[in-house]
Structure 1
Amino acid sequence: MTPQSQPAVQDTATQGTSSEHDFDFLIGSWKVQHRKLVHRLANDDTWQVFSGTCVMQPLLSGHANVDENVMDVPGAPYKAVALRAFDPKKKTWSIWWLDGRHPGHLDVPVVGSFKNGVGTFFANDTFEGRPIVIRFRWFDISEDSAKWQQAFSEDSGETWETNWFMEFHRAQQ
């Protein structure tokens, strides 16, 4: 089954409640604390903790933005880019991830919106050859901090394994 043929996960996030200002909180420079599962979808609870940075800037008069991320993974640091674009007709955001370790591959975009201060985004994809659904969530957002998490589901969203947490703290100017 390809990502395109998987059943789509429906959630209030896909109903279009966003505006082009949803990610304005992220503009600027951030220090990021990461906690990431070492082995995903393997019934393993071994976490890797590392630091990083994120610098975000708006594009297209606020209808898009990009951030460059530095991941200080012990022994294997890398950079990555998140590109987000707002669809004003659907009132949803699409988010793509470009990993510096694999610069020829742009991940499938997660699509969704914000509701009551929480951004929820989904995509059908594959992981190690298996069909999965990916979920991103942005939450606990303030002027100086925010949280993000990623989860995978192998059963079309019935159950989720959260495999990556990021805590953002505004970098001092």
Structure 2
Amino acid sequence: MKTTLLLTGLIWCVIAVAQQPPQPSKEDLAKMDFWVGKWDLTWDGGKGTNLIEKKLNGRVIQENFEATEGNFKGYLGTSISTFNPRDGKWHQAWADSQGGYIDLIGIMEGDTRIFQMTSPRQLPNGKESISRMRFYDITEDAFTWDWEASTDGGETWNLNWRINYTRAD
């Protein structure tokens, strides 16, 4: 009887350990740390701010975007980003004050960080479009962010919006 109970307990322990989700490495979690902080933003025709914070035990990055001047004044957006150790990729969900919502998946290309739409959007002309954001020229106190679109499956990209990030005091 004791042997059966011991064996049953051992089996439950093995099952419990096997069901634990994989844990991300510190390196994977740190790949978006450059973005964390308070930022002043400028772009052709406008200015804004973006507060990026680590949440939920450092596993989620939360973004709070606000266009404060110019052509997009009053536009607000928020995102949450997290690293999924099951597929080894970053994922982001974005929502904004105009009712927009998109899912993006992270791609790392050298020192460039990219979040790309997970599925194409149908355009009125019948073509499919995918969009992506690129973070590049990253330093401790600045980087460039581009919002780009492609109608040829990602072969070529067209710039829609460039934002220059400068770390705020």
Q: Normalised by the size of structure 1, how large is the TM-score?
A: 0.72
For 1:120 and 1:27, locate their aligned partners in 2 and report how far apart those are by CA, in whole Å.
16
The Cα shift of 1:128 comes to 4.5
1:154 and 2:148 aligned:
no
Deviations 1:23-60 (A, max 9, x none): 1112221101124xxxxxxxxxxxxx210000011122
**Higher-RCO chain (CA-CA 8 Å, sequence separation at least 6):** 1
Cross-structure match for 1:88: 85
For 2:158 and 2:61, locate their aligned partners in 1 and report how far apart those are by CA, in whole Å.
28
The Cα shift of 1:64 comes to 1.4
For 1:154 and 1:115, locate their aligned partners in 2 and report how far apart those are by CA, in whole Å.
21
1:113 and 2:107 aligned:
yes
Q: Is the 8 A contact 1:91 1:113 kept in 2?
A: no
SS of the aligned residue for 1:158 comes to coil
**Aligned partner (choices 162, 166, 169) of residue 169 of structure 1:** 166
The Cα shift of 1:94 comes to 1.1
RMSD over equivalenced CA pairs, Å:
2.0
Cross-structure match for 2:43: 34
Cross-structure match for 2:128: 131
The Cα shift of 1:110 comes to 1.6
> How many residue pairs get matched?
139
For 2:91 and 2:136, locate their aligned partners in 1 and report how far apart those are by CA, in whole Å.
17
Of residues 58-67 and 122-131 in structure 1, the stretch that sits farther from structure 2 once superposed is 122-131
For 1:158 and 1:24, locate their aligned partners in 2 and report how far apart those are by CA, in whole Å.
29
Q: Is the 8 A contact 1:21 1:62 kept in 2?
A: no
Gaps in structure 1 of 5+ consecutive residues: 1-17, 36-48
Cross-structure match for 2:9: none
Q: Normalised by the size of structure 2, how large is the TM-score?
A: 0.73
Gaps in structure 2 of 5+ consecutive residues: 1-26
Q: Is the 8 A contact 1:19 1:86 kept in 2?
A: yes
The Cα shift of 1:160 comes to 1.5
Note closer, same or farther for the CA distance 1:122–1:65 as it changes in structure 2 (3 Å cut).
same
The Cα shift of 1:167 comes to 0.9
2:65 alignment partner AA: N
SS of the aligned residue for 2:101 comes to coil
SS of the aligned residue for 2:57 comes to helix
SS of the aligned residue for 1:101 comes to coil
1:58 and 2:42 aligned:
no
For 1:74 and 1:64, locate their aligned partners in 2 and report how far apart those are by CA, in whole Å.
31
The Cα shift of 1:83 comes to 1.5
1:112 alignment partner AA: G
For 1:34 and 1:90, locate their aligned partners in 2 and report how far apart those are by CA, in whole Å.
34
Q: Is the 8 A contact 2:123 2:129 kept in 1?
A: no
Q: Which has the larger radius of gyration?
A: 2
Note closer, same or farther for the CA distance 1:52–1:127 as it changes in structure 2 (3 Å cut).
farther
Q: Is the 8 A contact 2:47 2:70 kept in 1?
A: no
